[in-house]
Each structure stands twice: as C-alpha cells, then as structure tokens.
C-alpha cells in the first residue's frame, strides 16, 4: 500500500458557493487514525467534509481519498462512510430499515445487508427492539446512534463524522469515542468535527484547525502546541517542594508565571521556552533538592490550541 | 497516539449492479407514498369510476340487461369515444394523486436535509431522481393505464360480437396516452416538489402549474385571436393528444385542432424545463456550514 492510496489528500483545494467562500487553498494530507477538525461555526469544516465525501466538487484543486476521486463514484462512495450533522432521515422508516436500505444502496445483496445491518447496530449498541421502531420516535441520542450505524455499516475505510457527539449523554459519548478509537487503531481513517473538544482531544491523533475557510494549523496536538511559541506553555509539575521549585524557575526569564496547586503538592508553570525549561528541570532533579513526581503539559490540548490560534470569538488570534 | 494495527477489512462481498440501486429508492418512495391513508383513499376513489364503467360495459354487452335499462338506444355503445371518456377521467385523477404523492417523495427529503445522506451512497443525482420517478410513475400507472387496459380486456372478453381485433388501436392509444401523461405529471410533480419544500404548498403549486398557464393561454388566444395560446393549456393539449391516439372524435365543445408537431414540442419543452429545475434543485450541498 503506498502513501497515495492510504491517505486523504487535498491539493490546493478551494471551494466557493457562488461568491461565498467555503474553503480556500487547502493543502492537507491525512493519514489513517483519528483526525479532528476544529474551527468555529462557518469556518469551512463541513465544506471540507463534503469535499472528502464527494458531496461537493472543488472549485479549484484536487481531492483524492485513498487514491480515489469522486468521479469514480462506485468505488469512492463504497470506501467512505458519512454521518451528516443534520438530524435528518427519510421518513417512515425504522432504524433497521434505514441501515438496511442504506446498505442496499451501496450494492449489498439483501442477505449480506441484513447481516451487516445487525452488526452495525450491535456496534453502536442500539438494542434490537429499538432498531425495529420508527426513527421518528427515537430520542436524539438514538438518532445519533442510528446515523453512526448507517455510516459504519458498509465497512468503509474512511469514516467522516460531522458533530457525531451532539445530543449524546456522557455514557453514549464515551461509547462512541471508544468505537472511534477502536476503528482508528484498526487503521481506518476517522475524521471528526466536534465542538466537544475536551472529549475528542483524548482520542485524536491529529487536529486540523480551520477558520474563515483557511487552514490555520494541522498535525499532532503536542506538535502544534509547541509551534505556538508566542503563547507560554502551561505545565503542571508534581513535586515534594513546589515553593523551592517555583523560586528556582523564577530565576530564569523564560518562566512567566508560577502558581501553587491547591493541594500544595505541585505548581502550574508557564514558560516561553519549553526546551530551556526541561533542561533546567533536569538539572534541578539531578541536584536532588526537589523530588519531581510528574510533569504534564497542561494546555497542549485541542481546546487550548483553539483558544490560542482562533480565539474565543472565532477570529484568528 | 494510536498504534495502527491495519487489521480493518473493508467489505469485499458481492455487490449488485449499479442500475439496480435506484430501485431501492423507488421502493423507499412507494412505501413513503402509500404509507399515507390519504393516498390509499385517493387510490380507492380513483378506481370508483372504473367500477361504474365496468357496470356500464356489462350492461352494454348483455343484450337483456341493455334492453331493460336503455331500450334500443345507442347511448351505451362501447367504442373509442367511451374509452376516451374513461381515459380522461382516470388521467385527471392521476393529476390529483400526483399532486399528493410527489411532494411526499421529494419535499420531505429536501425539508429534512436527507439528500446529503442519500447522495453519499453510490447513487448519483440522476439515480435519485430516477428512483423517485419510478415510484411516482408506478403509483400513477395504478390509476391510469392498468385499469384502462383491464377494462379493455374485460370488453374483449364480454363483447358478444368479435370486437378485440378491430379495436386494438384503442388499447395502444390508451397505453401511449396515459404513459405520456404520467411521465409529464411525474416530471412536473418532482420538479415542483424539489422547488417548494412545504408539502401542502407544493401540492397547490402542482395544480397551479397545470391550470395557471391554461388560463394565461386562453386569455392570450382570445386577445390575440390565435389558437397558439392553447399550447399553454395542458388540459386542451392532452385532450387533443388522447383523442388522436385513441382515434375518437373530440369531446371538447370547441375543437382547437393543434398540429401534432406543436403538441409534441410543447410536451418536450415542458419536460426539459422540469429536468432543468430538478438539475438545479437536487443537490447534496448542505446549506449550513460549520
């Protein structure tokens, strides 16, 4: 398997809806695993997803998914599973019929479709009794599950999920995230857009930050955080003598803030130079004056990166 | 960071031919259309005239019954004119049914934003429209050419004199005329439903599309003293077409006598306009971006 047939590629892609900009000059390569699209409303996340699911064609540039282009509809669509953000279904169907008909639209025989539909419903943990009820009577969480079942039922290699955690209770969210993680580990592409950044953050292999139709940053969350050099990085250091550690750290000018943890057994530290910080911390640890128990970055998560790069109002910070 | 095991296996089983996929949507559509009690009620109502026609045919074909009911009169004669009347009745019932069913097939999908889900399958926009078109034409066939041909077959069986060979043209004419009408109605119905998301308004718009141009055409014909305005009048255009296909004298009080070519041209133009509307409206694009 070569890189082209194993990745999702955007090559200088722009999409305009008349005079409205969807996305502009996006060049991006996504490897297998879980990718989270992060951006404010109207930033172009859904356009990016529509482009990779073949629902819209780029105005400029080229999109290829696992080496396939949307013009090769049969093979392309069979490799992509899409869960739209809209709470929308053809009317009058039960959950099972919805998944079954979806599979038959993918060209599965009725016999195979029955087996795959049952498997998908089991995977999203929708019980059989509920699956045979009309979707119109489903709760929001059940509707989200049935959409997810429809997206994974035909065993796609790329799963595109637009706000898949909306409406799910904490338990269902945890189950869904576990499913995404399992699929990602199996080597599937899982592309998620979500506003619940804290939870998605835990399972993502990489983030793609987008705002106003422009790509702001992409890559592993920790790498992206380290690239944001103008925002001091926040770390939590667990140790036996936080006061001593704080005084040592303040002696160097890259440390801009130190705050004692409420339990008195650690400090939050903000540093403008992570490399220098780790060198100094190693030195302090070797000296033995302070016993370091744990060091953890406190703001290299999608939420913090979002705040730093895009800002709370959605404009680029 | 995930550890990629690469043990995920996409589906590799057999798949059906591409041309069969729209049939899944047609099945959806039929279930959607006939899941409504009003559709079933309209369907039953549309068959009542056929029951009346069947009784009339029985009376006409049974010398004793005919003598008792109408005496020696020729009122009950089963001929081209009789079948033209039956056909016109059924075809106008088809308009009512199309106005009710078509919005259920498309407006709901548009209103619910279900198109992105459906079109993220290996089904093209053409395939989607074809599926809905099949569902609508099958539904309309049930009240048009199917009962018409059943009546024709009954007459062939019940006629006391050899009848069928001399009247095969009626069967062909009814089938062709009804087919042209249900294709046109289906295209208009789907186009209107794709344009108007609200079902009730779409139903009203369907009647407006048929009858408003008819009024405009009639005014234009009167003011300009020309028959060409009648080309906008679908009831007149279709009546002329059916009458010629069945081979019956016109049942319209004032015959317009439109040329065949003009009738064909107006029907093709209307169909192409509907296809253009469908092409513009049936899109997977989601309006809300986020």
**How far is A113 from chain B, CA to nearest CA, in Å?**
10
pLDDT of A21 reads 87
pLDDT for res B75? 65
- Which A positions 224-263 lie with beta carbon below 8 A of chain B? none
Residue B274's pLDDT is what? 96
In this complex, which of A33, A45, A56 lies closest to B285 when CB atoms are compared? A56
- pTM of this structure: 0.77
Contacts of A73 in chain B (CB under 8 A): 122, 124
Pairing of strands A233-239, A292-297: antiparallel
Give the model's confidence band at B180: pLDDT under 50 very low, under 70 low, under 90 confident, else very high: very high
The second-level CATH assignment, the architecture, of A4-225 is 3-Layer(aba) Sandwich (3.40)
| pLDDT over 60 (residue B288) | no
DSSP structure string for A138-199: --HHHHHHHHHHHHHTT--SEEEEESTTTT--HHHHHHHHHHHHHHHHTT-EEEEE-S-HHH
**Interval A199-239: pLDDT, tens:** 777 788 888 888 888 998 888 777 777 777 677 788 888 88
Q: Hey, are the CB atoms on B121 and A45 less than 8 Å from each other?
A: no
Residues 35-64 of chain B with CB under 8 A from chain A are 35
ipTM for the predicted complex: 0.74
To the nearest whole angstrom, how far is the Cα of B129 from the nearest Cα of chain A? 14
pLDDT value of residue A289: 82
User: Do A88 and B112 make contact, defined as CB atoms within 8 angstroms?
Assistant: yes
Domain ranges of chain A: 4-225, 227-304
**Of B10, B16, B117, which is closest to A109 when you measure between CB atoms?**
B16
The predicted pLDDT at position B261 comes to 94
Helix (H) or strand (E) holding A80: strand A80-83
Q: Does the distance separating the beta carbons of A53 and B28 come in below 8 Å?
A: no
Res. B31: pLDDT tops 50:
yes
pLDDT bin (cut points 50, 70, 90) of residue A316 is: low
Q: Which residues in chain A are closer than 8 Å to B17, comparing Cβ atoms?
A: 107
A42, A55, A78: residue with CB nearest B289: A42
Residue B135 pLDDT grade (very low, low, confident, very high; cuts 50, 70, 90): very high
pLDDT at B1 over 50: no
CB–CB of B121 and A105 under 8 A? yes
| Nearest-Cα residue of chain B relative to residue A23 | B289
Distance CA(A75)–CA(A54), nearest Å, equals 12
Residues of A in contact with B4 (CB under 8 A): 32-33, 184-187
Q: What is the pLDDT of residue A264?
A: 83
- Residues of chain A in contact with residue B122, where contact means CB-CB under 8 angstroms, are 73-74, 76-78, 105-107
* More confident call, B276 vs B19: B276
Mean per-residue pLDDT, A252-265: 83
Q: Which has the closest alpha carbon to A59: A112, A15, A99, A26?
A: A15
Indicate whether B120 pLDDT > 70.
yes
The reported pLDDT for the residue numbered B4 is 55
Average pLDDT over residues B110-139: 88
Q: For residue B66, is pLDDT > 80?
A: no
Mean pLDDT over B227-246 rounds to 90
Q: Which of A20, A76, A88 should be substituted to probe chain B, the one whose Cβ sees the most B Cβ atoms within 10 Å?
A: A88
Q: What CATH number belongs to A227-304?
A: 3.30.70.100
Beta-carbon contacts of residue A82 (< 8 Å; ≥ 6 apart) = A49, A53, A55, A151, A160, A162, B116, B117, B120
Determine the Cα–Cα distance for residues B230 and B215; give it in Å rounded to an integer: 9
- pLDDT more than 90, % of chain A: 22
What integer pLDDT is reported at residue A25 of this predicted model? 92
- Residue of A38, A105, A177 best to disrupt the B interface, most CBs of B under 10 A: A105
Q: What integer is the mean pLDDT of B227-247?
A: 90
Q: How many CB atoms lie within 10 A of CB B234?
A: 23
Q: Average pLDDT, stretch A8-19?
A: 90
Residues 6+ apart with CB under 8 A from A28: A8, A9, A10, A208, A215, A218
The separation between the first and the last C-alpha atoms of chain A, rounded to the nearest angstrom, is 40
What are the angstrom distances between the C-alpha of A98 and each of A91, A164, A268?
9, 18, 51
What average pLDDT does the structure give for chain A?
A: 84
Q: Do B16 and A101 touch (CB under 8 A)?
A: no
Chain CA centroid to CA B159, Å? 30
The interface residues of chain A toward chain B in range 132-171, judged by CB-CB distance below 8 A, are 147, 150, 154-157, 163
Task: Name the residue with higher pLDDT: B205 or A172.
Answer: B205
Rounded mean pLDDT, A20-29: 90
Q: Is B285 on the interface with A (CB under 8 A)?
A: yes
Nearest to B122 among A73, A101, A184 (CB): A73
| Nearest chain A residue (CA) to B131 | A105
Phi and psi dihedrals of A33, rounded to 5? 120, -170
pLDDT in tens, A144-202: 889 889 999 999 999 999 888 877 788 888 888 888 888 888 888 999 987 767 777 77
Q: Give the per-residue pLDDT at B290.
A: 34
In chain B, count H helices and then E strands. Answer: 11, 0
Half-sphere exposure of residue B57, counting CA atoms within 13 Å on the CB side? 22
Which chain B residues have a beta carbon less than 8 Å from that of A54? 120
| Interacting residues of A33 by C-beta distance below 8 A, sequence separation 6+ | A184, A189, A190, A205, A206, B2, B4
Q: Which carries the bigger pLDDT value, residue B122 or residue A96? A: A96
Contacts of B49 (CB under 8 A, 6+ apart): B86, B89, B90, B93
Q: Which of B29, B34, B117 is the best substitution to test chain A (most A C-beta atoms within 10 A)?
A: B117
CB contact under 8 A, A44 and B289: yes
């Amino acid at each position: 398997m070569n890189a082209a047939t194993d990745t999702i590629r955007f090559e200088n892609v722009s999409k305009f809806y008349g005079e409205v900009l969807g996305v502009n000059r996006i060049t991006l390569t996504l490897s297998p695993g879980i990718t989270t699209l992060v951006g404010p409303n109207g930033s172009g996340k859904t356009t990016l997803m529509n482009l990779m699911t073949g629902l819209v064609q780029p105005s400029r540039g080229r999109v290829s998914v696992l080496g396939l282009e949307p013009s090769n509809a049969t093979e392309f669509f069979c490799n992509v599973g899409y869960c739209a953000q809209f709470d929308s279904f053809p009317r009058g169907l039960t959950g099972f019929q919805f998944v079954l008909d979806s599979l038959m639209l993918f060209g599965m025989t009725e016999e195979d479709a029955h087996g795959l539909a049952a498997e998908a419903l089991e995977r999203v943990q929708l019980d059989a009794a509920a699956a045979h009820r009309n979707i119109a009577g489903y709760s929001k969480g059940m509707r989200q599950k049935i959409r997810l079942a429809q997206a994974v039922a035909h065993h796609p290699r790329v799963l595109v999920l637009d706000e898949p955690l909306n409406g799910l209770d904490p338990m269902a969210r945890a189950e869904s995230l576990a499913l995404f993680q399992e699929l990602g580990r199996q080597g599937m592409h899982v592309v998620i857009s979500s506003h619940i950044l804290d939870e998605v953050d835990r399972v993502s292999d990489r983030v793609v930050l987008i705002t106003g139709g422009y790509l702001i940053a992409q890559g592993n969350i920790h790498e992206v955080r380290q690239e944001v050099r103008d925002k001091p990085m926040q770390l939590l250091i667990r140790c036996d003598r936080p006061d001593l550690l704080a005084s040592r750290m303040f002696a160097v000018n890259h440390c801009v803030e130190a705050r004692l943890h409420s339990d008195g057994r650690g400090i939050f530290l903000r540093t403008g130079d992570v490399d220098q910080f780790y060198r100094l911390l190693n030195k302090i640890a070797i000296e033995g004056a302070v016993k370091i128990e744990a060091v953890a970055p406190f703001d290299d998560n999608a939420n913090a990166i979002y705040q730093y790069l895009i800002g709370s109002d959605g404009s680029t910070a | 960071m995930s550890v990629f095991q690469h043990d995920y296996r996409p589906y590799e089983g057999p798949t059906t031919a591409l041309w069969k996929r729209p049939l899944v949507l047609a099945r959806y559509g039929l279930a959607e259309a006939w899941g409504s009690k009003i559709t079933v009620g309209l369907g039953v109502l549309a068959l009542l005239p056929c029951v009346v026609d069947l009784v009339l045919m029985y009376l006409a074909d049974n010398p004793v019954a005919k003598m008792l009911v109408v005496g020696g009169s020729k009122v009950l004669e089963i001929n081209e004119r009789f079948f033209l009347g039956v056909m016109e009745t059924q075809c106008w019932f088809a308009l009512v049914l199309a106005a009710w069913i078509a919005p259920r097939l498309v407006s709901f999908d548009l209103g619910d934003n279900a198109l992105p889900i459906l079109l993220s399958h290996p089904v093209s926009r053409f395939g989607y429209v074809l599926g809905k078109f099949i569902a609508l034409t099958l539904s309309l066939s049930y009240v048009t050419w199917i009962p018409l041909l059943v009546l024709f077959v009954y007459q062939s069986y019940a006629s006391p004199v050899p009848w069928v060979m001399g009247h095969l043209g009626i069967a062909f004419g009814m089938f062709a005329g009804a087919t042209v009408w249900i294709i046109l109605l289906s295209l208009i119905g789907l186009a209107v439903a794709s344009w108007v998301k609200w079902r009730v308004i779409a139903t009203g718009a369907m009647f407006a599309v048929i009858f408003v141009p008819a009024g405009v055409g009639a005014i234009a014909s009167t003011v300009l003293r020309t028959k060409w305005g009648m080309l906008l009048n679908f009831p007149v255009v279709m009546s002329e077409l059916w009458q010629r296909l069945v081979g019956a004298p016109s049942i319209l009080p004032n015959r317009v006598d439109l040329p065949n070519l003009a009738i064909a041209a107006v029907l093709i133009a209307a169909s192409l306009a509907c296809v253009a509307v469908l092409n513009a409206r049936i899109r997977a694009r989601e309006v809300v971006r986020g």
